[in-house]
Amino acid sequence: MPFAVQIVSSALKELQAFKPYYQRQIADAIDRPLPYQPTLPTRHRKPIQVTEASFAFDPPLWELRIGNIRVFYDVEQSRQIIYIRAIRAKPPHATTEDAL
| List of residues 6+ apart from 3 with CB closer than 8 A | 34, 35, 36, 38, 75, 80, 81, 82
pLDDT tens track for 39-60: 999 999 999 998 889 999 999 9
With CA atoms as reference, report the closest residue to 70 among 46, 36, 39, 50. Answer: 46
Pairing mode, if any, of strands 81-89 and 4-7?
A: parallel
Residue 38: other Cβ atoms inside 10 A? 20
Domain ranges within the chain, ordered by starting residue: 4-80
4-80 is classed CATH 3.30.450:
no
- 12/90 Cα distance (integer angstroms): 17
Q: Is the pLDDT of residue 1 over 90?
A: no
Q: Is the pLDDT of residue 90 over 90?
A: yes
What pLDDT, on a 0 to 100 scale, did the predictor assign at position 97?
87
Q: How far is CA 57 from the centre of its chain?
A: 11
| List of residues 6+ apart from 44 with CB closer than 8 A | 29, 64, 65, 66
